[in-house]
Structure 1
Amino acid sequence: MDQLDGQIHSNDAQPDYILYAQHGWADVDRGIGSLAQQVASPRARVVVPNLGFVNTWIRMEPLIARVEAIATQTQAEYPDTPMRIVGHSMGGLIWLEVLERHPEWWPLVESLVLVGAPVGGADLSRMVDPMGWGIGIARDLGKNRRALAEKIAAQVPTLIIAADYFQGSDGVVPVECTKFNQASYVEVGGIRHDQMKRHPAVADVIQAFWQHESHLCIPMPVETYSHRVIQQLQAIPGMTDARYRGFDKSDLWSLLPRGLGLRTRQNKAGIHHVYLANDRQDCLFSGYVGWPNTQDLYDALCRLRCNESLL
């Protein structure tokens, strides 16, 4: 095993593929390196950059540039070799940004796996930096990258792995925040965010995605009425996907067709939350907007109440 900016496992022979595994915020390479070892084939070259714990608290751009440089060097050494990518948390966001810069790599990418990645924008980051002023890494983690992820997933086989540990969240990232169209989606239970980067259950899901050719086919998006309502809610200016906390304290705002209901709640800080529930009172979506977008929220809810085109 060679060591370069983390763990790089390689053979002298031509590798089957290059597996890039990237850690996220407030982390180093050890955990995601363990996951990479669990899933990689004996003849894979595994590249696990260590970006440095402290660096992950400052800005994402230098981290993106570092991963891009390592991948560029590796691909130059092994031109036309297939790529497989696994990113945990912010590591998944870093790879979305790297792939945006290198569309010429997309035909080589056999698989992109995002593990607990806050693609829709991390709610904790938006709490720290609600106005996007640039407080540490918060602004970068709070950015909504769904459009970019969907653009890539339309051409690259993509898998989302999320965990519902408690109240629709893995303890850090809400499950709704991980979702976007065009990708396969698997949700596991009972696993915290920090455990996902090395958990055997996550490794099993990744290997199943790789081993069965049908898993490598890009699925048709499932278009349901509730899905379309959630898309409209996520499109509200300032909307942040959130865990289901407070759902039991919310009030019914309006009934919708097909047994759905919009519920709202205002917390002590004056932040307005919205929930979508089914007829069994299961929470299907939870989100909130900041003070500047409160009117946008209720304008959108009024449009949803009157919009029959979503049926």
Structure 2
Amino acid sequence: MSPDYLLFAQHGWADNNQHMVALAQQLATDATRIIAPSLNYAMTWLRMAPLVEEVEQIATKAVETYPDAPLRIVGHSMGGLIWLEVLTRHPDWWPKVEFLVLVASPVGGADLGRIIDPLQVGVGIAADLGQDRRAMASAIAERVNTLVIAGNLDGGSDGTITLESAKVPHAQFVDMEGLSHATMRDHPWVIETIRQFWQGKSFSEPLTQHPVIEQLRAIPGMTDAHLRDLPQSEPFLTLEDDSVIRVWRHPLGIDHVFVTTSSGACLYAGYVGWLHRTELWHTLTHLKETVAHPQTSDGQEIDAPCGLDGS
């Protein structure tokens, strides 16, 4: 007898499947086939490719065994990244996927991973966690009903990854204030939100791609940043849609860039290290010359704040 659906629930880095099994059991019906692999704990500290291959093999066997069963996928943290890789390898599965839920997954790249491996030379799992997978996630979310759930413990992160790194264009987004990264694996709020999403509830408009933000994200070395530094930033230029690019340099010389609405709500936060400062300021200068609002509200052109000219 074919199950009503296959429920894939994948744990992440430095973890086992205990919490994801508990989550899946709360979501499943009596006719659901739960597939929640427990990956080798030590291997989760090394590289992601073998983990992707293992999950792919398990998933392929399940899909071939139950070819008519739809798929529902929930991935926590690196588990979500693993499934992005698997689905990118299998676009033929996309029509089968009823729902994809990414819980606390650093799709844009974990800043901790980039701190450990800033040159992306391959320092263990850090190189994989620091990779930006937003393009592949966006392509999937454009075709697959996708929900992103992110914790907000301190006004900008879940204590492990930033809110910004979890966002995916074309996906719905839920910000869960007060939840930490690990807590989200099987928290009742997360379980109920997934259940409601599966029942058709809409939590937000699908996230859209802002062309200027995409240009900033494309800068080499750009890493999604925490929102706590936004109040220290200064306006650099106003865009044609009245959103504002703001900049701030950390005392250690780390350049931050923010995009906010005209009312001050943050649309994007990122930073680059010393190695990529030139690329950041080249892009900012180009934007100022090409897409800036001609004037501010008081009729004065916006100049670079003192000391933040990229030098």
For the aligned pair, the TM-score class normalised by the smaller chain equals 0.7 to 0.9
8 Å contact 2:170–2:208 — kept in the other structure?
A: no
Paired position in structure 2 for 1:59: 47
For residues 124 and 94 of structure 2, the distance between their equivalents in structure 1, rounded to whole angstroms, comes to 31
Paired position in structure 2 for 1:233: 216
For residues 185 and 162 of structure 2, the distance between their equivalents in structure 1, rounded to whole angstroms, comes to 16
8 Å contact 2:72–2:99 — kept in the other structure?
A: yes
8 Å contact 2:141–2:170 — kept in the other structure?
A: yes
For residues 67 and 48 of structure 1, the distance between their equivalents in structure 2, rounded to whole angstroms, comes to 9
Paired position in structure 2 for 1:25: 13
1:307 aligns to 2:290 (yes or no): yes
How many residue pairs were aligned? Answer: 294
Aligned residue for 2:228, secondary structure, equals: coil
Aligned residue for 2:36, secondary structure, equals: strand
For residues 90 and 310 of structure 1, the distance between their equivalents in structure 2, rounded to whole angstroms, comes to 40
Paired position in structure 2 for 1:105: 93
TM-score norm. by structure 2 comes to 0.87
For residues 136 and 264 of structure 2, the distance between their equivalents in structure 1, rounded to whole angstroms, comes to 33
2:55 partner letter: V
Aligned residue for 1:192, secondary structure, equals: coil
Paired position in structure 2 for 1:289: 272
**Percent of pairs identical after alignment?**
47
For residues 87 and 30 of structure 1, the distance between their equivalents in structure 2, rounded to whole angstroms, comes to 13
For residues 107 and 14 of structure 1, the distance between their equivalents in structure 2, rounded to whole angstroms, comes to 18
Aligned residue for 2:55, secondary structure, equals: helix
8 Å contact 1:129–1:138 — kept in the other structure?
A: yes
1:201 aligns to 2:193 (yes or no): no
For residues 21 and 77 of structure 2, the distance between their equivalents in structure 1, rounded to whole angstroms, comes to 14
Alignment CA distance shift 1:202-1:59 (3 Å): same
The Cα of 1:301 is off from its aligned counterpart by: 1.4
The Cα of 1:233 is off from its aligned counterpart by: 2.0
2:63 partner letter: Q
For residues 309 and 84 of structure 1, the distance between their equivalents in structure 2, rounded to whole angstroms, comes to 43
Gaps of 5+ in 2: 295-311
1:82 partner letter: P
Paired position in structure 2 for 1:274: 257
Paired position in structure 1 for 2:25: 37
1:116 aligns to 2:116 (yes or no): no
For residues 197 and 143 of structure 1, the distance between their equivalents in structure 2, rounded to whole angstroms, comes to 22
Alignment CA distance shift 1:202-1:310 (3 Å): farther
Provide, for residues 147-204 of structure 1, a one-character-per-residue CA deviation record: whole Å limited to 9, x for no partner: 1111212221111111222131111111111112121222221111111111111111
Aligned residue for 2:61, secondary structure, equals: helix
Of the three residues 141, 144, 147, the one matched with 2:132 is 144
1:125 aligns to 2:124 (yes or no): no
Paired position in structure 1 for 2:300: none
The Cα of 1:288 is off from its aligned counterpart by: 0.6
Aligned residue for 1:246, secondary structure, equals: helix
Paired position in structure 1 for 2:309: none
Paired position in structure 2 for 1:250: 233
> How do residues 158-237 of structure 1 correspond to structure 2 at under 5 angstroms?
158-212=146-200, 215=202, 222=208, 227-237=210-220
Gaps of 5+ in 1: 1-12
8 Å contact 1:259–1:278 — kept in the other structure?
A: yes
